[in-house]
Structure 1
C-alpha cells in the first residue's frame, strides 16, 4: 500500500472488477455464432434488423422507398458475380445500400467486411453521422457490437463473429488483408491509382478484387458513385448493338459499368404497356418559361404512346418493380432480326457473359430528387453558359443530379462544324459519278502502314467541289513480292517494305468517272500521294515518282508533304527539298509543299458552306459515317489543328487538304472561267474527258478492293440515259 501511495495511486483509483459471469452465460452468448449463414436476402435483413432516419425520426427500413436498390443490394450475395457496380446520381440512396449490405453481413453471414471512403476525413464523418446513429437506433444490430473499449472506433467496428473495417484509398488499406466484402463508396472521387508515382500498385477497384480472393465465390466488391470523369469521344453514340453502353470516359466507375451487364431501370407504361427508361431527356417542359416555373410543370413522356406522367406518379411507377412490372433489364448476348441486342433480366441464361453486375440509374428516377429541381438546375446552368460562358454548373448537373457522363462543352465551340451537320446537309448524288458542273477531277492518297486511303474530288468553277469516291487499297499488285500465299490469298500492302506495292496506285490514273446526265466522263488531271508514311516509304515513294516521270507522267503524279503552323508565307509551293534530314544530302526530287493549317482553315470553311457557290465543298449522301467523322476530326488550337478528344482517324481531312493543294497548284484560283485551260473545260473538249460510248471499263486496271467495274458501267449507262438534273440537296431535318 505504501508503494502504491508513493506512485501517486490509491485504492479508490482502481476501477471495479466486472460482474461475475457464469460459463453458461458465455456459452449462450457464443452459440448463435455457430449457426450457419441465414438464408435471407440483403433487403429482407435490412427490413428485419435496420432502422433508418426519416426526417427527424427513425423507422424501420422500407424497400418501397427506393425499390430500384433491391436488386443491386441482393445480388452482392450471388456466387455468379465478383463485383456489383452502381452508377447513379446523388439523392438515390446509394450510401444506404452499402449500409444494408454491411448489416446483412453482421446479422446473417458473419465475415470480414471493409468499407473504403474517398478520404480519411470523409470516412470519419460517415461513421459519426451515418453508421454510429444507425447502430444506436437498430437494437438487434447494437446488441451484436462488442463492449470492449476498442470495439467501436472510427476505423473499426467489432461485432460478434465479424469485423467491419472503415478505411480510405491508400495502398496499405487494400493490401495484405482478406475480406469477404469490400465496399467502395464515391469511387470516382478516389485517387484512381494507388501507390507511389514511380511504382503504382493499381486502382482501388483492382486491389479490392484481390482482397476477396480467399473467399472465392462468396467474395464480392461493391462500388457506387456518381460519374465524375469527362467523355473522351465526342462522336460516340449508343447503337442497337450496345443500347445500354455509356460513353467512353477518361477513368472511373463508368469504365467498370461498361465491362459489366449494363443494367438500366425501366418503367412499364400504364397506358400502352411498353417498357421505357425514365430519363431526363424524356421530361417535357416549356423552355421559354422561367426555370422554376418550367420545372414545376415538367412531365415524363412515354416514348411509345406519348402518355404523360407528373412528378406525383414517380414513386408509384418506381414501386411497380415490387409487383413484377418493369425493373432492371441488362444486355443479353443474342441479337434479333432487326439488329437489336436483346434485353434480359439478371437471372436470364442469355445474360451478357461477365462477372460484373453493373447498374446505371438516371436522376429522373431517383427517389429523393424532384423533376422540378432537376429542370430548374439544368436551365439555370444553361443560362450561366449563355451569359458567362461558364460550364462548371452544367457539368455538376450532369454528374451529380442526372448521373450521366458529361462531355465538357468548353470543347464544343459554338457554330463548330460537326459530322451531324454534314449528314443533314448532304447532297444526293450517285457514288462514283461526277455532277454535271464538274470541270476536272483530282485524286488524293494518304499512305498508312497497311493500306492506301484514297479520295476522289470533282471540281467545278470557282473552286466548288464534291467528293465522288472514297475507298482504301489494301492488297498489293500481283507482281509484288509475296503478293499471294499458297492459298491464293493477298497479303496486306506494306509500302514501307515493298517498293512494288506502290504500283497498286497505277489504276487511279485510268479511272473514268461518268458525268451526271452526260455521255462522257472524266479521269484525274492530278494525283497527290503523301510523301510521309511508314518507315521506308519515302525512299519507295521517290522510286515510284521517278518511274512515273520516266514514263512522261510527271505532270500527273505529285508527292505531297505537309508543313504545319500558320507562319508559312505561301499556301502551296512545288520545289525540291532545301536539305535532307539528319545532315543527309537533299533529295533531287520535287515535292508539293502544303501549309496544312492554312489549307485546313479553307477546307473547314468550305465544308461549312452548304449552299451552291464559290469555294464550297459538298458532302455526298452515300459517304459512310466513319468517313464523315474523319472530315471534322480536328479542331483549331493556338498552335495549329489537333485531333478532337477520342478521335484517332483524320484521313478524310488530310485528303481534302491534298485535293485543295493540287487544285491550287493547277491554278484553280487564277482560271478565267470564260476561257479556261483545256484541263478545266466543261465538255468533251476537256483534255481528260472520255467518251463513255467508246470507253471499255474492262480496260481499267482494277485494284483488288474496287469492285467498281460493273458499278462504273451501270453508273455510266444511267448517267447517259437520264437528263441533267443538277445537284439535289437533301431536305434539312
Structure 2
C-alpha cells in the first residue's frame, strides 16, 4: 500500500499499489478467447455449467429439474426460427430465473449486447442489488468474466469480457437508438403499455424492443415474461372453439395478447394410468367446495379427464420431470386441422407449427414449482367467498392473475341484466316511510352535497349486512340563523353550501333524529352521519368548519366527512386518515377523512341489489321509494377501469348514498361483528347503545331521553 503525505495534514489516505506488470503476450492471451465463435450450447446447459442459485439458504448449481417447464422457453431465446419468446405464468414459477439463465449464456457462451428492462428504475436497482449481484458474486465463471474497473459494475450496466449487460426501465430513451442482440422484458404487464409523450406515444415496450434487435437479424431475440394483469376484453372475447384450443381470452392490453399472436404452447402431463395427455389446470383440481377453504385445500387432487385417475400434489415434481423427458411437455398449435374440426398440436420443432415469429407459452398455476395446491385452493376459495358475500372481486381477480397466471373474466351473474327499476320495485319491502324494520340493529345517515341542496338518505342495517332505505329527501332551505336566509318577503333563499358555511348547520339535527323500529316501543338514533367532502367550490373548507364545530360540541364521533377514491386497485376498501397534502400543495388539513374505494364498494352495492333470495348482504328497496330514486341506484355501469354513468344518466345520488353507508358500516366493524355476541352499537332490541324509548310505537315524536351509556368506547373498539 502507498501512503499519500501532506505536510499540513499528515497522511491523507492509503491507496493500493499499481497492478502487476503484464507483457503484451499475456494481454493477447487474455483476449484471444473473445475471438472464439459462440459456443453451441443451450441456455439450460450453460446455466447448469456457470450459474449458481440460492437454495435453502445456500448457493447451489442451477438444476433444470426444479422448474423443467422453463427449459424450452429459455432455450428458444437462441433460436434462429423465432425472433421473440413470450411466457405467461403465475408468480413463484421461476419466470424471472429464465432471464438470469439467458444472461449467463450470453456472458459465457455467446457474447453480445444484452438489455434487461424492469418495471421501474426502483425495481431495476433492487433486482440488481438483491438478485443479479449476488448471483454473479457466487458464480465463479461469471465473476471471472466481470470487468474489474469501477465503471464495469454499476446499477445500470455490467461489463463482461466481450459483452455488455444493460439494466434499464421502460421509458422511450431506454429502448431507442441502441442495437441489442437480446432484449429481456420482465413483469411486462406492470410496465406502461405505451411509451413516449402522453400526447403522442410511440409504441409498446415489446414493439420498441423488436426494433432494437433488427441489426442482429436472426440472432436477435426479445424475451418477455409476466403474470397477466389486464382483464378480459369482453368486446373482443369469443367462446373457445376447437379451431384454436390454446387461445386465451383477449385482454385489454398486455402479455396475453402477445401470447395469442405466437405459437400458443401449453404444458401437458401424461397420465400415469392411461398414458393419455392432458393439460393440468385449476378446473381439474377436485375438492369439496362446500368445506371451509383450509379443509377444502387439504383434500385437493388432480383428476385425469380421460380415465379419472387421481394425481396427488406430492406427485407434481415427478409429473413435471416426466413431461420434460418427453411424456408430455410443451405442445403448440399447428397449422393442421383434423377431420373433427380441431387444430392439431405439435412440438416446437415441428415444421407444421403455426407460421408466426413468436414462440409463446402459457403456464397454469397448478404446475408452478414453488406453489402448493393447498395454498392455491385456500386462496381461491377465500377470495371466491368474499366475492359472493360482498361483490368485491379484487381479491378474486388477484388470485387469477398472480396465482393461476390466467386473465380474469368477471363472472356473469344470471340476474345481473335482470336488475331493473321494475325488478327492484317488484321485490320492494313493504315498510312505512321513516320507520326501521323489526330486525334493524343500527342506522346510518348519508348526505350527498350538491350546489343548491343536501341530498339525504337514511338506511337501517340488520345482521350479516342486510339493509334497507328508510328515508330519502332533499334539504333545500338554509337554517334561519344563516346569512340572509330569509328575504324581506319572508321567502327562503336556496341552500348554497359552497358560499355559506352556516348552511351546513341544517345537518346538525340529523345525528339526533330518532327512527322508530317497526312495531316496537323504541327507536334508533343514527350510529353516524357521513357527509360528502366533495362538492361545489368552497364546500371543502365549509365542511371542515362544520365538523370542527360539532367536535367542540362533543359530537365529532357522530359525523364523518367522506371522500371517494376511484380505481379498482386501492389499498383497502375503507380507511380513516388525514390527507397527506392539500390539493393546492399547501399543508394538509388537520382532520381525518373517511376514504372510500368507490369502485370496489359499488361492486358490493350492485351485488347486494341483486340478492333477492337471501338476506345476507342484501340491499332492499322500500315500497314507498320513488321510481326516480330507485333508478339512481342503477345509473352507472361497470367497465374494466371501474364504474361510470350510463349514457343519458345524470343522477346517481342513491348509489353514492349506498356507497357512503356501506363505507361507514364497514369502518365501524360490520364485517368483524360476532352476531351471536354483538357490541352495544348493533345489539338487537332496546338495549342497543343508540336505542330511544318511545311512548307510542312508530311515532318518533314520542321519544324519551336516552339513558347515559358508555357507547363511544364500544364503537371505537371496532374501528380500524
Task: Please say whether Structure 1 and Structure 2 have the same fold, judged by a TM-score greater than 0.5.
Answer: yes
Shift of residue 90, structure 1, vs aligned partner: 0.4
User: Is the CA contact 1:88–1:361 (under 8 Å) kept in the aligned structure 2?
Assistant: yes
* Structural mapping, 1:286-365, within 5 Å: 286-365=288-367
Give the secondary structure class of the aligned counterpart of 1:199.
Answer: coil
Cα distance in 2 for residues equivalent to 1:130 and 1:202: 29
* Structural mapping, 1:448-597, within 5 Å: none
Offset from partner CA, 1:516-566 (integer Å, 9 cap, x none): xxxxxxxxxxxxxxxxxxxxxxxxxxxxxxxxxxxxxxxxxxxxxxxxxxx
Offset from partner CA, 1:136-182 (integer Å, 9 cap, x none): 11111110000001111111000000000000000010011100000
For 2:675, the equivalent position in structure 1 comes to none
User: Is the CA contact 2:156–2:166 (under 8 Å) kept in the aligned structure 1?
Assistant: yes
For 2:121, the equivalent position in structure 1 comes to 120
Cα distance in 1 for residues equivalent to 2:262 and 2:35: 36
Instruction: Indicate which of 281, 298, 307 corresponds to 2:283.
Output: 281
For 1:96, the equivalent position in structure 2 comes to 97
* Structural mapping, 1:644-659, within 5 Å: none
Cα distance in 2 for residues equivalent to 1:49 and 1:136: 12
Shift of residue 201, structure 1, vs aligned partner: 1.2
The alignment covers a number of residue pairs equal to 426
Pair 637,117 (structure 1): closer, same or farther in 2 beyond 3 Å? farther
Cα distance in 1 for residues equivalent to 2:58 and 2:263: 38
Shift of residue 224, structure 1, vs aligned partner: 0.1
Shift of residue 322, structure 1, vs aligned partner: 3.4
User: Is the CA contact 2:231–2:640 (under 8 Å) kept in the aligned structure 1?
Assistant: no
Offset from partner CA, 1:343-365 (integer Å, 9 cap, x none): 11111111001000000000011
Cα distance in 2 for residues equivalent to 1:55 and 1:291: 29
Shift of residue 641, structure 1, vs aligned partner: 9.6
User: Is the CA contact 1:81–1:355 (under 8 Å) kept in the aligned structure 2?
Assistant: yes
For 1:71, the equivalent position in structure 2 comes to 72
Offset from partner CA, 1:302-347 (integer Å, 9 cap, x none): 0111101000011100001332210101011111110000111111
Unaligned runs of 5+ in 1: 419-635, 647-733
User: Is the CA contact 1:89–1:401 (under 8 Å) kept in the aligned structure 2?
Assistant: yes
Pair 28,371 (structure 1): closer, same or farther in 2 beyond 3 Å? same
Larger radius of gyration: 1
For 1:236, the equivalent position in structure 2 comes to 238
Offset from partner CA, 1:72-102 (integer Å, 9 cap, x none): 0001100110100000000110010010000
Q: Is residue 2:424 matched to residue 1:416?
A: no
Cα distance in 2 for residues equivalent to 1:339 and 1:258: 20
User: Is the CA contact 1:33–1:160 (under 8 Å) kept in the aligned structure 2?
Assistant: yes
Give the secondary structure class of the aligned counterpart of 1:377.
Answer: helix
Q: Is residue 2:403 matched to residue 1:401?
A: yes
Pair 21,233 (structure 1): closer, same or farther in 2 beyond 3 Å? same
User: Is the CA contact 1:230–1:405 (under 8 Å) kept in the aligned structure 2?
Assistant: yes
Pair 151,40 (structure 1): closer, same or farther in 2 beyond 3 Å? same
User: Is the CA contact 1:73–1:101 (under 8 Å) kept in the aligned structure 2?
Assistant: yes
Give the secondary structure class of the aligned counterpart of 2:133.
Answer: helix
Q: Is residue 2:249 matched to residue 1:252?
A: no
Q: Give the CA RMSD over aligned residues.
A: 2.4
Cα distance in 2 for residues equivalent to 1:59 and 1:166: 25
Give the secondary structure class of the aligned counterpart of 1:150.
Answer: helix
For 1:193, the equivalent position in structure 2 comes to 194
Shift of residue 202, structure 1, vs aligned partner: 0.8
Give the secondary structure class of the aligned counterpart of 2:150.
Answer: coil
Pair 194,47 (structure 1): closer, same or farther in 2 beyond 3 Å? same
Give the secondary structure class of the aligned counterpart of 2:41.
Answer: coil
* Structural mapping, 1:376-387, within 5 Å: 376-387=378-389
Shift of residue 8, structure 1, vs aligned partner: 7.1
Give the secondary structure class of the aligned counterpart of 2:40.
Answer: coil
Pair 417,272 (structure 1): closer, same or farther in 2 beyond 3 Å? farther
For 1:685, the equivalent position in structure 2 comes to none
Give the secondary structure class of the aligned counterpart of 1:197.
Answer: coil
Give the secondary structure class of the aligned counterpart of 1:39.
Answer: coil
For 1:220, the equivalent position in structure 2 comes to 221
Shift of residue 58, structure 1, vs aligned partner: 1.1
Cα distance in 1 for residues equivalent to 2:188 and 2:112: 23
User: Is the CA contact 1:233–1:645 (under 8 Å) kept in the aligned structure 2?
Assistant: no
* Structural mapping, 1:16-31, within 5 Å: 16-31=17-32
Pair 61,284 (structure 1): closer, same or farther in 2 beyond 3 Å? same
Cα distance in 1 for residues equivalent to 2:209 and 2:117: 10
Cα distance in 2 for residues equivalent to 1:233 and 1:5: 75
Pair 643,80 (structure 1): closer, same or farther in 2 beyond 3 Å? same
For 1:152, the equivalent position in structure 2 comes to 153
Unaligned runs of 5+ in 2: 419-630, 642-720
User: Is the CA contact 1:344–1:351 (under 8 Å) kept in the aligned structure 2?
Assistant: yes
Cα distance in 2 for residues equivalent to 1:384 and 1:188: 26
Shift of residue 244, structure 1, vs aligned partner: 0.2
TM normalised by structure 2 equals 0.57
User: Is the CA contact 2:69–2:324 (under 8 Å) kept in the aligned structure 1?
Assistant: no
Shift of residue 10, structure 1, vs aligned partner: 6.8
